[in-house]
Amino acid sequence: TIVLGIESSCDETAVAIVKNRKEVLSSVVASQIDVHKEFGGVVPEVASRIHVENISMVIDQALKKAGCTMEEIDAVAVTQGPGLVGCLHIGLQAAKTMAWTFHKPLVAVHHIAGHIFANEMVSDLQYPLLALVVSGGHTELVYLKDENSFEVLGETQDDAIGEAFDKVARVMGLPYPGGPQIDRLAKEGNNVYALAKPKTENPMDFSFSGLKSSVLQFQARCARRQENFVPADLACSFQETALEALLSRVTYALDHVSGIRHFVVAGGVAANSRLRTLITETIAPNYPQIRFTIPPLSCCTDNAAMIAIAGTIAYQHGRRSSFDIGAQPGMPLESE
């Protein structure tokens, strides 16, 4: 099965062609980071306009790199949601056009299902599976009884973890996107500043806005008292506090949800080097009966290979989307 995937939910225009779920024939990502950097974040109106400018060229490149013609493609997969409505529309319109013109089935997928199935590139997924989704817009623990069912066990009550990384970086004067900057800076610092530890009622829910405010207050207090602080130490303290809270929920889930055979990490924050180390070195060894997978760095953040894989799985389960579907900016995962 060869599937062409299209992703445009946020600020990357991406198209990929994947064969039999695993073989990435091509994966082209046109990132808009340089444009949005000037504004310190994604400007939705600007993002949609750049998607329009780039999409045809990116589709073309993906087909050329794969050495593939549209005749060889079995289905066109596309992100229907969640994401920025104007951005989603561009990908959806392009996907419908390709599918219509070349008489191919259209398969709409959920962006987060894509992040989760990015792990197929490096591992045969075993079920029941537990996924830790950590991205710019999501922080959740998702249980998959099989590859066709999603149950959200816990989620953030306020900010997503990637959003918290980005906001903390922004107030520290680091460029957008801030996650990789904090990751880099934290390596040079120590966890010495006491920050607010996230608390939640449900042991599998998350919360990051209190921690974020605590970083802002710390900075404001230092400024008021004209005290210096070490930026690397602040980055490290924030990252350690955030990851400790994140991983305590993971441990709880691994201890309390029975029958899990595979644990995967998904989403842009899975690129965080400290998170990767903590999971492989301090968590995985305690659960020898569970397989642990973290996607390769290149497919943690938004790409279309993950959408093509999620599309292949949905296609193999018989999903065919109608041509009158619209973008779903708040699409629930459990509807997948």
* Site of interaction with ligand ATP (CB under 6 A): 9-10, 83, 111, 115, 135-138, 162, 165-166, 177-180, 183, 267-269, 271-272, 301-302
Counting contacts by CB under 5 A, is residue 79 touching Fe ion?
no
Q: Smallest distance from the beta carbon of 118 to Fe ion, in angstroms?
A: 10
Separation CA 19–CA 162 (nearest Å): 31
Task: Provide CB contacts within 8 A for 76, sequence distance 6+.
Answer: 3, 4, 5, 6, 95, 98, 99, 104, 105, 106, 107, 311
Could you count the other beta carbons within 10 Å of the beta carbon of residue 61? 15
Nearer to ligand ATP, 204 or 331 (CB): 331
Task: Provide CB contacts within 8 A for 305, sequence distance 6+.
Answer: 5, 16, 18, 24, 27, 118, 121, 299
Parallel/antiparallel/unpaired status of strands 106-110 and 129-134: unpaired
Counting contacts by CB under 5 A, is residue 27 touching Fe ion?
no
Counting contacts by CB under 5 A, is residue 159 touching Fe ion?
no
Counting contacts by CB under 5 A, is residue 302 touching Fe ion?
yes
Residues in the chain: 336
Could you say which of 120, 147, 302, 336 contacts Mg ion (CB under 5 A)? 302
Separation CA 188–CA 328 (nearest Å): 41
Binding mask 243-282 for Fe ion (x = CB under 5 A): ----------------------------------------
Q: Smallest distance from the beta carbon of 212 to ligand ATP, in angstroms?
A: 13
Nearer to ligand ATP, 58 or 73 (CB): 58
Separation CA 123–CA 100 (nearest Å): 33
3-state helix, strand, coil in the chain (%, to 5): 45, 20, 35
Could you say which of 3, 4, 6, 10 contacts Mg ion (CB under 5 A)? 10
318 marked as part of a ligand binding site: no
Q: Which residues are annotated as a binding site for substrate?
A: 133-137, 166, 179, 183, 272
Report the binding-site residues: 111, 115, 133-137, 166, 179, 183, 272, 302
